[in-house]
Structure 1
Amino acid sequence: MSEELTVASYLYIVLELLIAVFSVLGNVLVCWAVCLNSNLQSITNFFVVSLAVADIAVGVLAIPFSIAISTGFCSNFYGCLFIACFVLVLTQSSIFSLLAIAMDRYIAIKISLRYNSLVTGQRAQGIITICWVLSIIIGLTPMMGWHKPPDSSNSSVCPPGLMPCLFEDVVVMEYMVYFNFLACVLIPLLLMLGIYLCIFMAARHQLKFMEVKAVHGGKSRSTLQKEVQAAKSLAIIVGLFAVCWLPLHIINCFTLFCPECAGPPEWIMFVAIILSHANSVINPFIYAYRIREFRQTFRRIIRRHILRKQETFESGSSRRNSMRLKADGIHFDACTEHSSSNSSCESSCRSHISTVGGGLVAVSRPPLSVIISHCPKLGPCPLQALRHIRGGHHPLQYAEQEHDSAGQEVEEEARSAQAESLYDEQERKCCFIELANMS
């Protein structure tokens, strides 16, 4: 092996190790975020977690296997074949997860009224299980006989019974091109392309219909726009998957259809392999950049659970926690403002709270239209202000959302009354207990 190739091999190994580390860290963060934030525990994100698990396995197992194969270490034939096929299992699982996500988004936008009845958690778990079983069968097909015959011509290099483990010496290109690429990768990618085109066309038609008919459904329009935004993010992930994996499959096609052609330089193969593995690193960045809920949960995990920092606001800024209560069909707002100038929370809106009928309260300013109830880590619970004016037993209905007085946009959740909380469930319980006591 020449010095240039040796340098290329070392560079390849270093880059692969970096990809493995970032793949594991990023996708563990995705799984952690879904477990931590109940707003992320949707059917779509169940498939996202399945995709993240496959990417974690790429970093933990597939990349080390790939590095081992690149060195041509001595192995028995079937051990080498299993190592070569393992990454194919994970690739196929990623493909099926992406296809399931596309179908989920199609149902959510195209036939949204039947979404909750068609797409359930139990069905999603069953689909994920089927996807993994099919991926294992497809990826390990060469182990069932579709492989090259064992070759002992290099017995002088390795001990008796062993051979240099190289991908092209154990896996046949007919399997890689006809079965793995054309049937199990390209066709699903084309299906996903068609599904996302249908999604965007259907969403565009619905938005135009709302405008023409002057439909007064702010929530419906907002919900549809959020679904489209999520679909765009997931379509980007599919596109990046294709960009990352197609070069390696194209090289395999040239190898099969042009056997008399000179093989690609080693550095080109290294680049194609690195690009395919780098796809496992990309998805967490897409979630963080495109999906606000993921971005905020990532920030919370890093600050509170990794850096061990308390949630604080910037010096001199303030944040209002408000609450909308409903009794006898009438809404009333209560507000508590928390200042962070001295790293403490203060209640500064109580002077504006006045008693109205039924023992509820109303606030004269600021006029907030958001529905919110958050219990801060420091300072009094916003609902403590209501204790002394409790009167009557009116049922209180509430939901949660956050309003930032610095001008942060408030996004209403259409399918859930809950919104993201920057505080742990234990820290928020006091608010809910107060509501229950007042009801």
Structure 2
Amino acid sequence: MTLDTVSILYISAEAVVGLTSTVGNAIVLAAILRTRRLHTVTNVFIGGLAVADIAVGLAVAPLAALSFTGRPRNFYGCILVNSLILVFTNVSIFMLLAIAVERFIAIKKPFMYQRMLTLRRAIMINVAVWLLGTALGLVPLYGWNTGNYNIKRCTFLYVISLDYLVYFQFFGVTMVPFSLMLGIYGYIFIIIRRHSRQTHAPHKSIRHSVEDVNWQKASETTINHILNNDVRVAKMFVLLITLFCLFWLPIHIFNCLLYFCSKECKFNHEALLVAIVMSHANSSINPFIYPTSNSSIKKAIKVMFGCNLSAGQSCNCVITDSNHTTIHRSSMRSTLGAVHIHKLSHDSHRDS
């Protein structure tokens, strides 16, 4: 395979990734912004993740293709071009971590959720994530670079230091947040399983009125519905994290091999380019995950494109999935409270 053929294939792949990432995430972001019922804390973070993916499509993929041609031939310009992918990668990682923490609070502390995480605070967290991701991604500009000032051809590894990529970017910025996310989601599923067991546990044989029985069934149905939604939303974000790891792991493995065994190991240039395209392609996959895992976003996208929903799919139906936190949390609180009151009244009646 000639170098010209490789160049054409690589630049074409980056162009396709850039287009699909920009269009797909723009559709998701527009659906969230246009639909008032989607203005929830969880969707604020999904929107922030979509913005980062749009930036990858608009800037990173074209700039990666530009860098592949050896431009720009200015040292700091070359560092800036190659650091942008690190900026948007960091934003995506920290946004996924913020979502994991938000899900943890929603499930672990449902009564405190609305008070702790308002839309305003979620937006402020988004801004903080962008500032942090930008600051860490631009570290090579501050001085942690190769110092090859006499640049003749701009390439990623000619200006970006491998020890920065391996120790700081991979082990620090990437592995630490993902370890935290793994622990958080593992604990979330333990909590959900525990609640599910408690809900389905056999009740003591106590005489209840018809109203009490109906109320108990209704409350259990509501709680089960919330728990099922929590599981579904958590699974969606676990899928996003898993895909992020799968798409980014190859390029990190290449960086580690280049750093630890550059002399002993042999590297295939085409395989390295495939790993680079895969890391960028992750941003074009996410917009397909949101609507398939979140019926609310899927309905909003259909409405946005003028699709006529059937009566069974009316746009006025209750929004579930990630949005149940704002719609159902208060009802959950009143339901659990009422169940507790009924239990106390039965206990006092039985004691008397």
What amino acid does structure 2 have at the position aligned with 1:175?
Y
> Paired residue for 2:226, among 206, 223, 226?
223
The answer for the alignment partner of 2:46 in structure 1 is: 48
State how many pairs are aligned. Answer: 310
Alpha-carbon spacing, 1:263–1:137, altered in 2? closer, same or farther (3 Å): farther
Deviation of 1:136 (Å) = 1.0
What amino acid does structure 2 have at the position aligned with 1:279?
N
Is the 8 Å Cα contact of residues 71 and 78 (structure 2) preserved in structure 1?
no
Query: How do 1:1-400 residues align onto structure 2 when only pairs under 5 Å count?
Result: 4-152=2-150, 163-212=152-201, 214=203, 216=217, 217=219, 218-302=221-305, 304=306, 311=308, 319=311
CA distance in 1, matches of 2:267, 2:52: 29
Deviation of 1:262 (Å) = 4.1
TM superposition outliers: structure 1 runs of 4+ over 3 Å? 213-216, 412-415
What amino acid does structure 1 have at the position aligned with 2:30?
W
CA distance in 1, matches of 2:6, 2:202: 63
What amino acid does structure 1 have at the position aligned with 2:286?
N
The answer for the alignment partner of 1:423 in structure 2 is: none
| Higher fraction of strand | 1
Alpha-carbon spacing, 1:132–1:25, altered in 2? closer, same or farther (3 Å): same
What amino acid does structure 2 have at the position aligned with 1:171?
I
What amino acid does structure 1 have at the position aligned with 2:100?
A
CA distance in 2, matches of 1:415, 1:67: 43
The answer for the alignment partner of 2:317 in structure 1 is: 401
Deviation of 1:220 (Å) = 1.5
Deviation of 1:122 (Å) = 2.0
What amino acid does structure 2 have at the position aligned with 1:205?
R
Superposed CA deviations along residues 43-90 of structure 1, whole A, max 9, x for unmatched, are 011011111000000000011110011111351101001111111000
Alpha-carbon spacing, 1:39–1:77, altered in 2? closer, same or farther (3 Å): same
Unmatched tracts of structure 1, length 5 or more: 153-161, 314-318, 322-371, 375-399, 403-411, 418-439
CA distance in 1, matches of 2:312, 2:298: 22
Is the 8 Å Cα contact of residues 31 and 304 (structure 2) preserved in structure 1?
yes
CA distance in 2, matches of 1:75, 1:7: 23
Query: Relative to structure 2, which stretch is displaced further, 108-117 or 198-207?
Result: 108-117
What amino acid does structure 1 have at the position aligned with 2:89?
T
The answer for the alignment partner of 2:345 in structure 1 is: none
Superposed CA deviations along residues 242-296 of structure 1, whole A, max 9, x for unmatched, are 1111110110001111121345211111110111011101111111211111112
What amino acid does structure 1 have at the position aligned with 2:173?
C
Is the 8 Å Cα contact of residues 240 and 279 (structure 1) preserved in structure 2?
yes
CA distance in 1, matches of 2:312, 2:294: 24
> What RMSD in Å do the two structures reach over aligned CA positions?
2.1
- Report the secondary structure of 1:268's partner residue: helix
Query: Relative to structure 2, which stretch is displaced further, 24-33 or 123-132?
Result: 123-132
Is the 8 Å Cα contact of residues 255 and 263 (structure 1) preserved in structure 2?
no
Deviation of 1:312 (Å) = 6.7
Is the 8 Å Cα contact of residues 16 and 67 (structure 1) preserved in structure 2?
yes
The answer for the alignment partner of 1:348 in structure 2 is: none
Deviation of 1:121 (Å) = 1.6
Q: Percent identity?
A: 35
CA distance in 2, matches of 1:256, 1:243: 21
- Please tell me whether residue 416 in structure 1 is matched to residue 327 in structure 2: yes
Deviation of 1:401 (Å) = 3.1
What amino acid does structure 2 have at the position aligned with 1:287?
Y
TM-score, reference length from structure 2: 0.83
Higher relative contact order (CA 8 A, sep 6+): 2
Is the 8 Å Cα contact of residues 257 and 265 (structure 2) preserved in structure 1?
no
Is the 8 Å Cα contact of residues 203 and 224 (structure 1) preserved in structure 2?
yes
Deviation of 1:414 (Å) = 7.5
Superposed CA deviations along residues 355-389 of structure 1, whole A, max 9, x for unmatched, are xxxxxxxxxxxxxxxxx9x8xxxxxxxxxxxxxxx
CA distance in 1, matches of 2:60, 2:309: 40
Superposed CA deviations along residues 152-192 of structure 1, whole A, max 9, x for unmatched, are 3xxxxxxxxx5210111101100000001100001111111
Deviation of 1:416 (Å) = 2.4
TM-score, reference length from structure 1: 0.67
CA distance in 2, matches of 1:118, 1:182: 31
Deviation of 1:92 (Å) = 0.1
The answer for the alignment partner of 1:332 in structure 2 is: none
CA distance in 1, matches of 2:240, 2:325: 24
Deviation of 1:300 (Å) = 2.0
